[in-house]
A = this chain, B = another copy of it.
Amino acid sequence: MPEPASKPAPSTLRIAIAGVSGYAGGELARLLLRHPRLQSATPLLLGRMGEPEAVPTALTHLHPQLSGIGPANELRVLPFTWQQLQRQSIDIIFLATPHEQSRAWAPQAIAHGMRVIDLSGAWRLQQEHNRAVYKLEDTDPVLAAELQREAVYGSPELHAPAIRNARLVANPGCYATSILLALAPLVRSGLLDLDHGIVCDSKSGASGAGKALVPNNLFMHAADNLSAYAVFGHRHTGELLEQLGLSSEQFQFTPHLLPIPRGILSTIYVRLRQPSRPEEIQAVLERFYAAAPLVRLRPSPQLPQIQHVARTNFCDLGFHLGPDGRKMVVVSCLDNLLKGAASQAVENMNLMAGWKQSEGLQ
């Protein structure tokens, strides 16, 4: 299907980030500060909303590693209001905020004329029973339901056309991205014996848990350690079921906390309907990702590892077929803060602006 003729892409956009103080917010700021289409644009607004009396803080105070990068030294993180954003003609606002806030703010931002890219889990799920894990409360349930139906799941490899025209993009979860990019081509190709079930064993660096001052985020908890958590109950399960069209019987996912700052590796166990050869699988993946700028396929039997993707914008995929030609292990790696969050959000922005998908990311 050819893309519809559309109005020409703007040369730049006016951007705001809410929630820039977290790890993903900091990476997002870094990417946008270096983005060639945004370098001359003013303002890049960085904000804490709803804290009207908060004192402006230097961006480099919150993220010292950004000092000296583009205009970072001049940027202030400000409390701001919707009116101010509207007055500044903000085109797109990134919400790098907790899901409760994202659920409340997305409708308001849209009502004030902005498009929204939300990095939380607030808008990813169409099915109410999946959404239940987030315990979301809507002040205007009718409007929220409508906006939910309109929201586009921001996986550029799967939904680029819809993202281009979206008002509200729900940026995928970090674990979900690593698993979805591995499974989508295989599920869609019909190669998998879905009834046998799929097992995803994922391992993530500590930044995935955010900056909260809780015992599990302490150095003394994570260092020299590995632990499984949220077995049979991680929130990213729902978005994977919806995106892959699987039932909860067919899919299981166990996350683990790795003693490293960044990176996810997912080891995914599937069974093929028919015995296959590695070249057939490789061909399916290559076809699917032929135009995907941020997915790198390793030629089997090479496998990706976290070291090769950490602090890059890429998701790397590789696989091994068992001697029976039916058991298969797929390994997927990405940086949870980048392709698992900020880089993917920038891809979505690029698509929404009509720019090249990987603009500012290679």
Interface residues of A in 205-227 (CB under 8 A from B): 206-207, 211, 213-215, 217-227
Complexed CA–CA distance, A309 and B226 (Å): 11
- Cβ of A274 under 8 Å from chain B: no
Asked if residues A307 and B265 are in contact (CB atoms below 8 Å), the reply is no
Given contacts A231-B303, A267-B228, contact A296 B220 (CB under 8 A): no
Q: Which 8 A-B pairs have the closest CB atoms?
A: A227-B305, A201-B201, A225-B307, A231-B320, A213-B213, A219-B222, A206-B219, A64-B308
Complexed CA–CA distance, A226 and B320 (Å): 17
Complexed CA–CA distance, A352 and B330 (Å): 44
Interface residue from B221, B226, B232 paired with A219 (Cβ < 8 Å): B221
Asked if residues A223 and B260 are in contact (CB atoms below 8 Å), the reply is yes
- Cβ of A203 under 8 Å from chain B: yes
Residues of B within 8 A of A57 (CB): none
CB distance from A240 to the nearest CB of B (A): 16
Asked if residues A261 and B224 are in contact (CB atoms below 8 Å), the reply is yes
Given contacts A254-B267, A314-B67, contact A305 B226 (CB under 8 A): yes
Asked if residues B65 and A199 are in contact (CB atoms below 8 Å), the reply is no
Interface residues of A in 238-274 (CB under 8 A from B): 248-249, 252, 254, 256, 258-263, 265, 267, 269
- Cβ of A23 under 8 Å from chain B: yes
Asked if residues A223 and B327 are in contact (CB atoms below 8 Å), the reply is no
Asked if residues A225 and B306 are in contact (CB atoms below 8 Å), the reply is yes
Asked if residues A261 and B220 are in contact (CB atoms below 8 Å), the reply is yes
Complexed CA–CA distance, A226 and B336 (Å): 14
Given contacts A252-B322, A259-B259, contact A203 B226 (CB under 8 A): yes
CB distance from A288 to the nearest CB of B (A): 17
CB distance from A311 to the nearest CB of B (A): 6
CB distance from A299 to the nearest CB of B (A): 11
Interface residue from B196, B227, B314 paired with A306 (Cβ < 8 Å): B227
Interface residue from B23, B248, B258, B303 paired with A220 (Cβ < 8 Å): B23
Interface residues of A in 152-199 (CB under 8 A from B): 196-197, 199
- Cβ of A285 under 8 Å from chain B: no
- Cβ of A329 under 8 Å from chain B: yes
Residues of B within 8 A of A258 (CB): 226, 258-259
CB distance from A168 to the nearest CB of B (A): 30
Given contacts A199-B199, A296-B68, A322-B252, contact A206 B228 (CB under 8 A): no
- Cβ of A362 under 8 Å from chain B: yes
Chain A, 268-298, contact with B by CB distance < 8 Å: what is the 0/1 string? Answer: 0100000000000000000000000110100
